[in-house]
Structure 1
Amino acid sequence: MPEPALSPGDVLVEIAAAGLNVLDANIRDGEFKLLLPYKPPFVLGHDLAGTVIGIGSGVSRFKVGDEVYARPRDGRIGTLAERIAVDEADLALKPGNVSMAEAASIPLVGLTAWQALVEVAKVRKGDKVLIHAGSGGVGTFAIQLAKHLGATVATTASAGNADLVRGLGADIVVDYKRQDFEKVLSGYDVVLNSLDGDALRKSLNVLRPGGRLISISGPPDPVFAKTQGLNAFLALVMRLLSLNIRRKAKARGVDYSFLFMQANGEQLAKIAALVEAGSIRPVLDRVVPFASTDAALTELEAGRSKGKVVVEIR
């Protein structure tokens, strides 16, 4: 690929490590092409940690030599590469107490958890929060963030991962292989769902009236269509896809929303402060060389990773 071109407001980063996400596999397979119309050939990758090696005109927050991390905005992804041009607004200084690989594991899952729990749910001390798939990338981060916010945290995980999620702060662990979480939990204020439609519907039953069901796995809702500026046809599709769950949520007095995480360097700076303070630690399943990217992504899709898988670029 050619060298990245710097536009005004861009920062050129030499990438040391890049996090892998199921989103990469989804985009590779064309599952989001109506929303993210990338035209092949394009470079995958949504997480990075690296060093600033160039700045475009108008950049004031970063200088050459800064160690940074980011989730580049949609339309400008491509962290599985040696270098990338990133909008200054999407970038933050890397937490100083973690490695490049650890920092690269944070941006996408960290921003997803932050935007769900802080921005949308506004979790406060004493709230009861259920986080599905607690041993996954989003789950391991969200458990720690919810505990930092003062919540009582329940999570679904296998028995083999129970110690891991408890060590991250989970108060209640539901073994999804032997227990039905909707029969074990009740009166919750927030559910963060990353699972299938069956788990989404069951999640309504654990929420109190006035609670919030936030899903990062869909279905998209009309609010999402409006904020993304989608055309009338796609907006109608989103409305129909989410009609059933929105009706059920309304009947129970619960608020349903779909979250599609947005790049945000300012939020990453706040997350970095929590990591440096020891309130949140990155959880890595493994670090693999660039040559093993395809195999690692296939294994990630199988859902057996604990935390994040990171590719070492440099």
Structure 2
Amino acid sequence: MAALMQAVQIDEYGGPEVLQLRQLPIPAPGEGEVIVRVMAAGVGPWDAWIRAGKSVLPQPLPLTPGSDIAGIVVKAGPGVNGFTEGDEIFGVTNRRFTDGYAQFAKARVDMIAAKPSSMTFEQAASMPVIAVTAWQMLHEFAGIKAGQRVLVVGGAGNVGGYAVRLAALAGAEVAATASDAQADHVRDLGATEIIERGMNQLDAYAASFDAVIDTVGGVALEQSYALVQPGGVVVSAVQKPDSARLPQRVRSDFLLVSVGTRILEKLARLADDGQLETRLGDVLSLADARLAHQMLEGMQHKPGKILLVP
């Protein structure tokens, strides 16, 4: 009889009520995979999109949501080099961003890295998707250089906070939108200018930024178009910018994150050097997965990344 584990599963798409805590067989690793004893799993908006049937990727049912994990390798599959039993890792599970809300999870070895030694499992599980998203927006699309001016729309959010910090570490001059209540936190991350979250007084910022890093979308993204200078960049983690409304000679795109070992290792080094910190929100049990998804959809919760601890 196969060994069992607790995991969260859905049989149909829908609201948080479709999440079910179940006993499922512990998976076996395939080629290039390891089995991880999950010590903490992150909860993100993409988990809710998958649960609701809004994923851009095919997601056959039944499925276990969740992709951000940190834990301990318990078994390595064929063709695995560099990870052995007992290694502490963090990263994501697979390219479909599923299978993380469980006591044990399969993970592709090209999507994980050694856990930062300075971080707890909970801190490490809070980083992968959101920190890699911010890194790729800044470095792989915008090509941020020291001395450039960067606007982060949504500087107090999970992705936005990392974008502020990573842009500041790159030597950029960082402005960010934030509420009065979050302004000091965003300044601590490295922003030198705070723009009121409603973006109501923007005349002074017209065509003054080399890059706009958007984590909000909607009206805020549209208002930012006039703030980027010719030759600049607008990149959003939420929706595709309207190129027809952008100034001439402005590049734009909607970024789909691609989590890989190389960037995770860079982030781990920054964390271990004390240059990158996490912001943990509510930490819940697997049995509280529905509550975690209710928080994603508007229920009041602590600022920061929501986590599930098996």
TM range (shorter): 0.7 to 0.9
CA contact (8 A) 1:51 1:66 kept: yes
CA distance in 2, matches of 1:76, 1:7: 17
Unmatched tracts of structure 1, length 5 or more: 220-241
Secondary structure of 2:253's counterpart equals: strand
CA contact (8 A) 1:196 1:217 kept: yes
Please say if 1:275 is aligned against 2:264: no
Number of the residue aligned with 2:9: none
Number of the residue aligned with 1:238: none
Secondary structure of 1:147's counterpart equals: helix
Secondary structure of 2:249's counterpart equals: coil
CA contact (8 A) 1:19 1:311 kept: yes
CA contact (8 A) 2:93 2:105 kept: no
Number of the residue aligned with 2:188: 167
Question: Offset of 1:76 from its aligned partner?
Answer: 5.3
Number of the residue aligned with 1:266: 262
CA contact (8 A) 1:44 1:78 kept: yes
Percent identity (aligned): 33
AA partner of residue 98 (structure 1)? M
Number of the residue aligned with 1:312: 309
Indicate which of 1, 11, 14 corresponds to 2:37: 14
Question: Offset of 1:13 from its aligned partner?
Answer: 0.5
Secondary structure of 1:145's counterpart equals: helix
Number of the residue aligned with 1:236: none
Indicate which of 42, 61, 83 corresponds to 1:40: 61
CA distance in 1, matches of 2:230, 2:136: 22
- Alignment TM-score, normalising by the size of structure 2: 0.87
Superimposed CA distance per residue, residues 2-61 of structure 1 (whole angstroms, 9 cap, x where no aligned partner) = 2212112111101000111111111211222xx212122101112000000000111111
Question: Offset of 1:184 from its aligned partner?
Answer: 4.6
Number of the residue aligned with 2:243: 246
AA partner of residue 10 (structure 1)? E
Query: Matches of residues 1-314 of structure 1 in structure 2 within 5 Å?
Result: 1-32=24-55, 35-75=56-96, 77-177=98-198, 179-180=199-200, 182-186=202-206, 187-219=208-240, 245-249=242-246, 251-302=247-298, 305-313=302-310
CA contact (8 A) 2:154 2:197 kept: no
Aligned-residue RMSD, C-alpha: 1.6
Unmatched tracts of structure 2, length 5 or more: 1-23
Distance 1:258 1:139, change over 3 A: same
Question: Offset of 1:285 from its aligned partner?
Answer: 2.0
Distance 1:301 1:76, change over 3 A: closer
CA distance in 1, matches of 2:294, 2:203: 33
Instruction: Give the total of aligned pairs.
Output: 285
User: Which structure exhibits the higher relative contact order, with contacts defined as CA atoms closer than 8 Å and separated by 6 or more residues?
Assistant: 1
Number of the residue aligned with 1:231: none
- Alignment TM-score, normalising by the size of structure 1: 0.86
Secondary structure of 1:17's counterpart equals: strand
CA distance in 1, matches of 2:284, 2:164: 25
CA distance in 2, matches of 1:188, 1:302: 32
More strand by share: 2
Distance 1:253 1:74, change over 3 A: same
CA distance in 2, matches of 1:44, 1:312: 14
Question: Offset of 1:130 from its aligned partner?
Answer: 1.0
Secondary structure of 1:160's counterpart equals: helix
CA distance in 1, matches of 2:100, 2:163: 23
